Amino acid sequence: MKLFQRKKNPAADIEDIRRQGRLPAHIAIIMDGNGRWAESRGLPRNAGHARGSENFDRIATLCSELGIRYLTVYAFSTENWKRDPEEVRGIFDLFRKYLKKSCDEMLARNVKLRIFGDTSAFPEDILALIGRAAELSEQTTGMQVNVCINYGGRDEIVHAAKSLACDAAAGRISPEDVDAAAVEARLYSAGVPDPDLLIRTGGDMRVSNFLLWQIAYSELYVTDTLWPAFSGEELCRAIISFAGRDRRFGGYGKSSKPRR
């Protein structure tokens, strides 16, 4: 059963979705296909990452304009260290450039920025930029962008489990205190609501160790479009698809909310 009447104009659909309160509050994206996009054009893989970074900026701006409250993107996984060192260096150079630009523009654009992942191996200049972005985020009230870099879903859960074990060993908590809320409080995403919609570009039908705890009830949208070519129009199609679904959360329908 359709939950709203679709129109020929996607912008009108989005406005209907907003009016009905069916806009996803949190969108997560696996930005896949940068390397394939470049290789299909005879370009080095890092040229695809550069184009993908530009597209991320465009999509993030559109999400903010649409009223999305949280956007989480998968930039570099714990497994991506296996790639060619030159490609890895190129990705981190782009990350450094993005952080510098964010620090220059965050207040004007009224966005927040958080980094999800193990930052212990990051160079000092990147750590300094992350710290500066965190300070600026305290002064903004708009959409929060979460960039997952050196991130893995299993690694995140292990990190939370170690934190719980340390607290238990120190007598700060008892085994009876360990519940879902205690785990969530120790995830990189602590304080951020779970994604409503998970978008994967590039056509692969897997979640690739991304937000394994958080996407338990996320709606999935997979497109064959490679990330550098993922357009604002396709983002709107993903949101329209999301709005037409009945999110049951294990219940009987009517988009009932999950228990927390």
Question: Is 80 annotated in the active site?
Answer: yes
Per-residue pLDDT of 113-143, as tens digits, reads 999 999 998 999 999 999 999 999 999 999 9
The CA distance from 14 to 16, in Å, is 5
Parse the chain into domains and list their residue ranges: 24-152+194-243
Instruction: Say which of 34, 55, 80, 125 is annotated catalytic.
Output: 80
Per-residue pLDDT of 206-249, as tens digits, reads 999 999 999 999 999 999 999 999 999 999 999 999 999 998 88
The CA distance from 128 to 233, in Å, is 36
Q: Are 31 and 228 in contact (CB under 8 A)?
A: no
Is the domain 24-152+194-243 a CATH 3.30.750.80 member?
Answer: no
How far is the CA of 18 from the CAs of 153, 221, 253, in angstroms? Answer: 31, 19, 20
Phi, psi (degrees; rounded to nearest 5) at 162? -65, -40
**Which residue intervals of 67-152 are DSSP H helices?**
85-109, 124-137
Q: Are 62 and 199 in contact (CB under 8 A)?
A: no
Per-residue pLDDT of 172-213, as tens digits, reads 999 999 999 999 999 999 999 999 999 999 999 999 999 999
Residue 260 has a pLDDT of: 46
Residue 253 has a pLDDT of: 61
The CA distance from 24 to 220, in Å, is 12
- List % helix, strand, coil for the chain (3-state, nearest 5): 45, 15, 40
The CA distance from 191 to 194, in Å, is 9
How many separate helices (H) and strands (E) can be counted in the chain?
8, 6
Per-residue pLDDT of 145-163, as tens digits, reads 999 999 999 999 999 999 9
Per-residue pLDDT of 34-85, as tens digits, reads 999 999 999 999 999 999 999 999 999 999 999 999 999 999 999 999 999 9
pLDDT band at 12 (very low <50, low <70, confident <90, very high): confident
Residue 2 has a pLDDT of: 47
Residue 6 has a pLDDT of: 58
Residue 1 has a pLDDT of: 34
Checking if the pLDDT of 9 tops 80, the result is no
Place of tokens 């396709």: 234
Stated pTM of the model: 0.92
The CA distance from 102 to 116, in Å, is 16
The CA distance from 27 to 106, in Å, is 20
Residue 121 has a pLDDT of: 86
Instruction: Say which of 13, 32, 194, 196 is annotated catalytic.
Output: 32
The CA distance from 191 to 208, in Å, is 23
Residue 8 has a pLDDT of: 60
Residues 6+ apart with CB under 8 A from 73: 28, 29, 31, 56, 60, 145, 146, 147, 148
